[in-house]
Structure 1
Amino acid sequence: MLFSPKGIAFVLAGSVAIITTAFLSLIKDTPGSALFVAFSIAFASSFLLFYFSLEFLVFREINKIFTVIDKVKKKDFKLPRKQIVIDTNPLKRLNEEIFAYATRKQQEIDELKKLENFRKEFLANVSHELKTPIFAAQGFIHTLIDGAIDDKSVRDKFLDKAAKSLDGLDALVKDLLTLSQMETGDIKMHYEKFDIGHLTSDIFEQLEEKAEAKRVQLKFDKKMSVPVWAYADRHRITQVMTNLIDNAIKYGREEGKVLVSFDSDKEHLIVSVKDDGPGIEPEHLKRIFERFYRIEKSRSKEQGGTGLGLAIVKHIIEAHRSKVSVTSKMGKGTTFSFKLEKGDNK
């Protein structure tokens, strides 16, 4: 009770009233009734002043601070935040600062935990991806060393398989190196004006054999009658378009088609690559640009690839100060889109 607002106000008001009455008693001929009235008025007014000051300006705000601390301990950061107003009450400002600081720190902790989990997952994926071609090549070579090399047909077959495994390992290491260099900023974009329509036609020709194997048509959404000028790093955009079109062939339906379209706004060229495959489920859309993330691991392995293609696409487009977006409808296909600077005025 003593450390409640009422208890403290009572003690302080009594002290003020006693001091006031003692001071008045020093005046000669002051009647006792006057001293009693002075004591009562001083006590009542002081009590009300101290009580309301302590209750509303101190204790209530301290209780709010304890409430915030309790919620911080429970990791509950859903406190209602009113519009920020400069308040003269330092305890209110302290309360807001505690909440803001705790929220920032918790976000940092959550981000660090996410990065730690990502690092562990990445190391596990790298180990697995490296182990597969190494063990395969190792098995073929050891089989040859153990005597199979004397059989020409077996020797050629095993050497061919070992070479393919090592080629896959080489592609994986190159993609890892490229991705690492992009993330650290070691690779710079070299901008130039080029016809992205002509570039896409060249990619169609390069992937024609793979498309014919699945009877997939590679087409432009609209007839290309004039050049489509882009201002970007030609080599890196070739990587992007090759990866997106190759994926559209791999994961699109057989006897389907891959459509590439070019649209524009005032400043940008909008590039889209669309397939008519089974589509991507919503829970996978947020993660498909992660390194080694595969929607269907077994099917992806059969289709080949390092699992780093879309991660590299994402970093290349971001290096062009843009973003790659993906939309997908189950049973109707998937579309990847990004923007580039228009090259018409360059």
Structure 2
Amino acid sequence: MSLSPRFIAFVLAFLISAITTSFLTFVQDVTRSMLFVTCVSSFVGSFFLVLYTIEIIVYREVNKMYRTIHKLKLKDFNISRKVLIRESNPLKRLNDEIFVYVAKKQKEIEELKKLEQFRREFLADVSHELKTPIFAAQGFIHTLIDGAIDDEKVRDRFLKKAAKSLDGLDALVKDLVTLSQMETGAIKMNLDRVNLRVLTEDILDRLEKIAQDRNVTLKIKPDKLTEVWVKADAMRIEQVMINLIENAIKYNNDGGKVIIHFDEDKKSYAVSVRDNGPGIPPEHLTRIFERFYRVEKSRSKERGGTGLGLAIVKHILNGHGSTIAVKSQVEKGTTFTFKLEKTDEF
């Protein structure tokens, strides 16, 4: 219950006049008229005195607190001086505002700490990822400079390995630039009508050799849905589909299956890429879209990739106003799902 200064003054004045009048009743020769006058005068005098005292003390302190707040960042507070003065209980209102302000600043501090931790981890990861191909290429080239270049077989083999390391470095730098541009909003999505079914079939043709090497079967379902018209940036969605399908092939079991499924509803198409591979342990599911995060670092290195693919996929889909979800069971497989807005075909 909020107590206004007038209510407090009324109660205190009533108590003072009641006590004063009660004491006077014990004095001899005191008439009722005198008691009435004493009661009224003490009540009125006490009421205005207490009210004045409370308002002077309270509002003086309120003004001091307001000036202190003003020195901070006034726009963080949802209250003006006029509103504050008109409040029946300004101290309570001010206390509530300060509590909200402190909670907000505490949250900002926690976010800054998380960002600082993320920055340190990111710098460590980038340093590690850059160091590996650079040192490898450096080792091969210095070996050639030290005399191995005269041996034709050694020269060709080392040059191929150095080139492979530099190609990996080039892919990593390109992915880092792409991811950075997406996060800063430098890359805009050029949305257009895209037949996702045709685009996916083209991607499967390009990835057929990788799938055959691992005896992985690729399938698009349902067969009757021959056209999947969506509103999307064709180049970026192609990048998403390539990444998800290629990962499903690489991290699948030999002889496994990869199914791309389109599910139509009233306003959108749900796209899922499912494999029946080893799956992802539950403790990793919340982190697989982080930069450079790998479930099994040794296996991931062997299979190639920069470790930025899923982070890029997430940002591309965010740029389309969509999100990506993942479900996985160990030894049963993994499914990635996202939605895209439908659009009329040509």
Q: TM-score, normalised by structure 2?
A: 0.76
Local SS of the residue matching 1:207: helix
1:97/1:229 CA distance change after superposition, 3 Å: same
How far apart, in 2, do the equivalents of 1:160 and 1:151 lie? 14
Is the 2:291–2:307 contact (alpha carbons within 8 Å) kept by the matching residues of 1?
Answer: yes
The AA in structure 1 aligned to 2:283 is E
Is the 1:281–1:330 contact (alpha carbons within 8 Å) kept by the matching residues of 2?
Answer: yes
Structure 1 residues 167-206: aligned runs within 5 Å: 167-206=167-206
The AA in structure 1 aligned to 2:110 is D
Structure 1 residues 68-83: aligned runs within 5 Å: none
> Which structure 1 residue ranges, 5 or more long, are not aligned?
1-8, 25-29, 59-86
How far apart, in 1, do the equivalents of 2:219 and 2:270 lie? 17
1:333: which partner in 2?
333
1:89: which partner in 2?
89
1:104: which partner in 2?
104
Local SS of the residue matching 2:292: coil
The AA in structure 2 aligned to 1:174 is K
How far apart, in 1, do the equivalents of 2:234 and 2:212 lie? 26
What's the offset of the Cα at 1:245? 0.3
> Which structure 2 residue ranges, 5 or more long, are not aligned?
1-8, 59-86
What's the offset of the Cα at 1:323? 0.9
Q: Structure 1: which 4+ aligned runs deviate by more than 6 Å?
A: 33-47
Residue identity over aligned pairs, in percent, reads: 63
2:262 aligned with 1:271, yes or no?
no
2:298: which partner in 1?
298
How far apart, in 1, do the equivalents of 2:300 and 2:237 lie? 24
Is the 1:16–1:42 contact (alpha carbons within 8 Å) kept by the matching residues of 2?
Answer: no
Structure 1 residues 274-285: aligned runs within 5 Å: 274-285=274-285
How far apart, in 2, do the equivalents of 1:240 and 1:219 lie? 17
Which shows bigger deviation, 128-137 or 260-269? 260-269
What's the offset of the Cα at 1:135? 0.3
Is the 2:193–2:345 contact (alpha carbons within 8 Å) kept by the matching residues of 1?
Answer: no
Structure 1 residues 121-200: aligned runs within 5 Å: 121-200=121-200
Is the 2:229–2:345 contact (alpha carbons within 8 Å) kept by the matching residues of 1?
Answer: no
2:308 aligned with 1:313, yes or no?
no
What's the offset of the Cα at 1:155? 0.6
How far apart, in 1, do the equivalents of 2:152 and 2:118 lie? 46
What's the offset of the Cα at 1:89? 2.4
What's the offset of the Cα at 1:184? 1.3
1:120/1:135 CA distance change after superposition, 3 Å: same
Q: How many correspondences in the alignment?
A: 295
Q: TM-score, normalised by structure 1?
A: 0.76
1:71: which partner in 2?
none
How far apart, in 1, do the equivalents of 2:198 and 2:244 lie? 16
What's the offset of the Cα at 1:37? 9.7
Is the 1:325–1:336 contact (alpha carbons within 8 Å) kept by the matching residues of 2?
Answer: yes
1:154/1:231 CA distance change after superposition, 3 Å: same
1:296-328 CA-partner distances (Å, limit 9, x unpaired)? 111111111000000110111011111111111
Is the 2:16–2:43 contact (alpha carbons within 8 Å) kept by the matching residues of 1?
Answer: no
The AA in structure 1 aligned to 2:105 is K
What's the offset of the Cα at 1:162? 0.3
How far apart, in 2, do the equivalents of 1:224 and 1:140 lie? 53
2:217: which partner in 1?
217
What's the offset of the Cα at 1:32? 5.7
The AA in structure 1 aligned to 2:188 is K
What's the offset of the Cα at 1:90? 2.2
Is the 2:243–2:309 contact (alpha carbons within 8 Å) kept by the matching residues of 1?
Answer: yes
Is the 2:171–2:306 contact (alpha carbons within 8 Å) kept by the matching residues of 1?
Answer: yes
How far apart, in 1, do the equivalents of 2:196 and 2:210 lie? 21
2:62: which partner in 1?
none
How far apart, in 1, do the equivalents of 2:171 and 2:312 lie? 13
